[in-house]
Structure 1
Amino acid sequence: MDFEFGPEDRAFRREARAWLEEHLTGEFADAAGRGGPGSEHERAGTRLAWEQELGRDGWIGLGWDADHGNRRATLTQQVVWAEEYARARAPGRVGHIGEKLLAPTLIAYGSKEQQARHLPAVARGEELWCQGYSEPGAGSDLASVRTTAVKDGDGYRVTGQKIWTSLAREAHWCFVLARTEPGSRRHHGLSFLLVPMDQPGRVDVRPIRQMSGTSEFNEVFFDGAEAVETVGGEGNGWQVAMGLLALERGVSTLVQQIGFEEELRRVVAEAVANGAAADPVLRDRLVRQWAELRTMRWNALRTLGRQDDPGAPSVAKLLWGGWHQRLGDLAMQVRGGAAAAGPGAWSAAAPYELDEQQRLFLFTRADTIYGGSDEIQRNIIAERVLGLPKELR
């Protein structure tokens, strides 16, 4: 297959690169490489300002349809922007959940009023969102959701708990999967609700301290919180939620891979510097990691934009989750016994001081679980693609 970019794509790349070079200065340059998976807590204020900088010059909403986005870009140009953004080590986005998940969902399932209310604010970088899906006991198996929503006038009152919610402290809104039909089971009776986060006493966000010492994720408790809108109609939440999950594996997977390439480069550089690369077994593992990363990129480009392959998102998740976890293992193997030591002296004030490679190792333990565990992804491929009998429950 032809994976090359055309003349218009190359011109778009020059424009994107020039804009990033011009604007990644001052506090934005200081926040380079900060934020993103494993470090969402870092430099949140600066990253919010950066989000609005992107919005002012039309770099948010490239993949939306012509009625809603800022500037228009083809699918390959969206890939170009994602690659240049990652290579420039621009600050981790705080608005990506609104741009990449909520907005396409509203375009596909929302009303004209909902689109007019929310999309411009997301495109300006002014309205941030978080995702209220997972619960204790309902992580990869979203059909076990127990959060309820009771009709109240034109809206709903939401009660329940969500967990592993990234950016909940920064978000203005949360899209919530909740059970609106009393007594319903599994994927029946669910609705996709839009909940304002600024409801003191009704919405409580509690950071979750991780083994790395950081608090990227949060618990969110809803106690009769007002939900002003439902997307796709009452009882259709499962269809909307599944449509949204399919969007998670699009151009964003290519952004991930640029970041993965930089992480692999640092692991290889350390192996060369400390002599570990002289070990033929370890050197073979490094080469294998590089080859698998190239294969992931080709697979992502091959499947990009295809809507007729229900297994493509699951294959992508299985590939990158296992690859990234193996990279974390490899980073520690390269370092040897020194991997167990922190970069500085232990103190009660900072008992979890870790360097970048140690955080990589610890965070990648979750890669095969969050976003849909490997077991769930294999079930999807087996049942929906290969037509095998469903797993006994």
Structure 2
Amino acid sequence: MNILEKQSAPARGRARPTDRNGAVALRSLSKTFDGKHAVKDLDLDVQPGEFVSLLGPSGCGKTTTLRLIAGFEYPDTGTIEVSGLRVQDLPAHRRPVNTVFQSYALFPHMSVADNVAYGPKLKGVPRAEIRTRVADALDLVRMGEYAARKPGQLSGGQQQRVALARALVNRPAVLLLDEPMSALDRKLREEMQVDLKIMQRDLAMTFIFVTHDQSEALTLSDRIAVMNAGTIDQIGRPADVYDAPATAFVAGFIGQQNFFTGTVQTAGAEAAGAETVVVAGEVTFRTSRPAAGVEGGNGAEPGGARGKGAEVTVAVRPHDVVVEPLRSPGVNQVRGVVRAVSEIEHDVHYIVETASARVLARTRRGAEPPLATGAEVTCSWPAHAVHLFTA
């Protein structure tokens, strides 16, 4: 009996074949622990050969979702299909997936080659084929020359590559990765991100990647599923999730935001380009963007959730804020005092305190020196940078 068999319950279902190799479909998936939902009525489709990241804070359900796909947990309700096979009742060792964990879990007494060969040996793969598979897997992760070493003789990045090779050597239809680079320093993590993306493209294999690191998800993913309280708030291409967040939670989690709570003064009609005016303290916002988070999509009926008098959340990203010497007040701008300035790489970061809020701004470093702490300034932003969210 192998390790996965020991961790899994007996098989309770029968697989049915199909040709959709690498596709994953989750339907109405739910899992509770101590009466609390870790995953709730979750639906997700992953296409063959796609790189999808499950992104969210600790406790949002992303790792539980991965463990449900892997077979380390069983759902309370719902179905899981991998390559068209119904697998929610199958033990982990009978599912066409492999998992790379945060901890590399390499056997310290075995060589690199023996660690990678362990899985195929348990599956009864012939010795000659195991040797070929192991050599191919180690070459893929650029660890062929370290085959005879023990894990203790490797760096963290090298151990991570061996863990990847050990998962790939079994030739799964889907590779599941649970924050596999969290223990690496920044430089190694960035190198591994590049290698992982190239590897996934070359293999044309489906990767489902769990992370709480927004930049990692934006860099690697074909699509990102942003999870919150056991559900998916939004799924889409990285640029779409970043530029058009569907909820205030997504807006705040993907990058920084300046948030304001305001009241709708003029509600734009459904027609394209119609403007909505929101007042939040001393700031007047004007935007043609519809309010997100409304039942049924990104718009709302006049007089509804974003009608006149409605309470809304306004969001503006720091890189859309322009900081300049004091000028006359107007729409989409606010006066304030610079409280802090820092220069990071090619950017200048400002913290500006206004009468009722604190505004973060990030601008590109120019020929002129940054504005000084204590300077009275005007922060402004274009109308298209204003996002509105309703409850």
The TM-score with structure 2 as length reference comes to 0.28
The structure richer in strand per residue is: 2
Please tell me whether Structure 1 or Structure 2 has the larger radius of gyration of its CA atoms.
2
The structure richer in helix per residue is: 1
